[in-house]
Amino acid sequence: MQDQKGSRMKAGEEGFGTMIRLPRLAERTAGTGDGAGNQAVTSEVALYRDIARVIDHMQRRLHDVVRVELGRVGVDDISPMQVLMLLNIGEDELSVRDLMERGYYLGSNASYNLKHLVEQGYVDRAASQRDRRAARLRLSEKGQWLCTQIGKLEDRHATQLLRGPADAADLETTYRMLRRLERMWGDVVRYDSRGQD
């Protein structure tokens, strides 16, 4: 497999900046339906089906972008996933449980990443004053500095993306729809899985 510049890539590897090829709606809907109404419905269903794949690819690409930025600022002791954990803590002081709920992390993986962040000095972990068994998390100065650098990156990207009122409106609509989708999938997990344990 080759990237856009023609250089060799390993199987399963995607070049930074290359586009993921998803089926076009015309390909997904060709030969289906018997009228314009059916084609429109089929197109909308095809869009919904592709959303999960697009989200997955975007998550991977976000990790690539964060990895590039870490290299630019000379940070090599933290992974993109761990950076996202820092951003989820932000300026707050959280319990471990609060952090897990904010980020939907897998248990053992989250514990490992959190331990690494504490060991590398990005997160301060202290016992809660109300419950000595519970830990409270907050960013250290080192963690705050890195989040500031990532914030500058986000500002640059927002400036590039939002070139006018139409772009801002599109982004707001996209955000609202993704939140609706998140709530709907959450409801499916909560309500449709009851009684299956």
| Mean pLDDT of all residues in 143-148 | 97
Which comes out higher in pLDDT, residue 41 or 17?
A: 41
Decide if pLDDT at 2 tops 50: no
Query: From residue 86, how far is each of 59, 80, 99, 132 by CA, in Å?
Result: 16, 10, 10, 23
Report pLDDT digits (tens) over 73-128: 999 999 999 999 999 999 999 888 888 888 767 666 888 899 999 999 999 998 77
Q: Distance (Å, rounded) from C-alpha 39 to C-alpha 132?
A: 60
DSSP state of 94: E
**What pLDDT is recorded for position 88?**
92
Cβ–Cβ under 8 Å, residues 80 and 66: yes
Cβ neighbours around 129 below 10 Å, total: 8
Instruction: Write down the mean pLDDT value for the chain.
Output: 80
- Pick 107 or 64 by higher pLDDT: 64
Whether 29 contacts 42, CB under 8 Å: yes
Q: What is the mean pLDDT of residues 56-85?
A: 94
3-state secondary structure 123-175: EEEEECCCCCCCEEEEECHHHHHHHHHHHHHHHHHHHHHCCCHHHHHHHHHHH
Task: Write the CA distances from 65 to 61, 62, 68, 128, 135, integer angstroms.
Answer: 6, 5, 5, 35, 31
Q: Which 8-state DSSP code applies to residue 34?
A: S
pLDDT band at residue 63 using 50, 70 and 90 as cut-offs: very high
Give me the pLDDT at residue 69, please. 95
Q: Distance between CA 64 and CA 71 in Å, rounded?
A: 11
Query: What are 8's strand-pairing partners?
Result: 2
Band of the pLDDT at 190, cuts 50, 70, 90?
confident
65: helix, strand or coil: helix
Q: Is the pTM of this model over 0.75?
A: no
Greater model confidence, 110 or 171: 171
d(CA 45, CA 33): 13
